[in-house]
Structure 1
Amino acid sequence: MMAAGKKVAPLGNYPAVKIFGNLIFVSGISARLPDNSIAGVEQIDGQIKTDAAIQTKVVLDKLDALLQEYGSGFDKCLDVTAFLTDMADFPAFNRIYAEHFQIETGPARTTIAVQALPKPGMVVELKVIAARP
């Protein structure tokens, strides 16, 4: 879905990643693509249709690439805050999330319902703290 090496710039005046000691703080990461479109969004009869599973997969793929860039990985994630615009998407989000993290070894996690995310069609965003060697 996302071309290798293509990064999406933050929407505001903040870094995508902040390093402090051996910790990696990842700013909110979404399914926004380099062309500014949102993965998992379709226009059908003038209505926006979103797919939380697709967005979750794209977010996790982007997170994986970013963590690897800093010598880390999913196994080094310590804390995840998930933002969903609709808790009806929780089962789809949770199913894809569970493909990447195990209950015994995964990070602590909080899932929060929010009224909206920065771009129309965004339904999933993650904020992550991970360790690095």
Structure 2
Amino acid sequence: MTIDGKAAPLGNYPAVKIFGNLIFVSGISARLPDNRVAGVEQIGGQIKGDAAIQTQVILDKLDALLQEHGSCLEECLDVTAFLTDMDDFPAFNRVYAEHFRIETGPARTTLAVKALPKPGMVVELKVVAARP
């Protein structure tokens, strides 16, 4: 199911919640409007997710979402990153660093989780941003 050409949330929650000048973005993944997950391939009987591809898709989606609400990536204040495998951390971190600088980027916490909602989904971000 899609909302305005975007993948609908998998549960009963909004994709974005605005409070004052803060934008709270619910977990954002590389799930596409057709419910597939970008960067996923099946190799033999194994489903494998590419953390670099998924991180890029997520950050592109996040930037578009923030711009819809009068903000942008530069206004991100706090990011919580969820990875299903910490071996993916270097690929995730490399793509992340292309979008955020250490001096001006958001605070960040990265956690390993057992699984994410869709097979092959290996990265999810939860974000708080300002709306100037």
The aligned counterpart of 1:32 is 31
d(CA) in 2 for partners of 1:108, 1:125:
16
- Counterpart for residue 99 of structure 1: 98
Distance apart, 1:50 and its partner CA: 1.5
Q: TM-score, normalised by structure 1?
A: 0.95
Q: Give 5+ residue unaligned stretches, structure 2.
A: none
Report the Cα distance in structure 2 between the residues aligned to 1:123 and 1:97, rounded to whole angstroms: 14
**Residue 9 in structure 1 maps to residue 8 in structure 2:** yes
Distance in 2 (alpha carbons) for counterparts of 1:11 and 1:115: 18
Distance 1:31 1:87 in 2: 18
RMSD in angstroms over aligned alpha carbons?
0.8
- Residue ranges of structure 1 left out of the alignment (5+ in a row): none
Percent identity between the two aligned chains: 84
State the secondary structure of the residue aligned to 2:74. Answer: helix
In 2: Cα distance, 1:99 partner to 1:6 partner: 26
| Matched residue type, 1:54 | I
TM score, norm. by length of structure 2: 0.96
Number of aligned residue pairs: 129
Following TM superposition, by how much is the alpha carbon of 1:85 offset from its aligned partner in structure 2, in angstroms? 0.3
Aligned to 2:128: 129
What secondary structure does 2:96 align onto?
Answer: helix
The answer to whether 1:56 aligns with 2:55 is: yes
Match of 1:85 in 2: 84
The one-letter amino acid of 1:82's match is A
Determine helix, strand or coil for the equivalent of 2:125. Answer: strand
The 3-state SS of whatever aligns with 2:48 is: strand
Q: Runs of 4 or more off by more than 6 Å in structure 1?
A: none
CA drift of 1:6 comes to 2.1
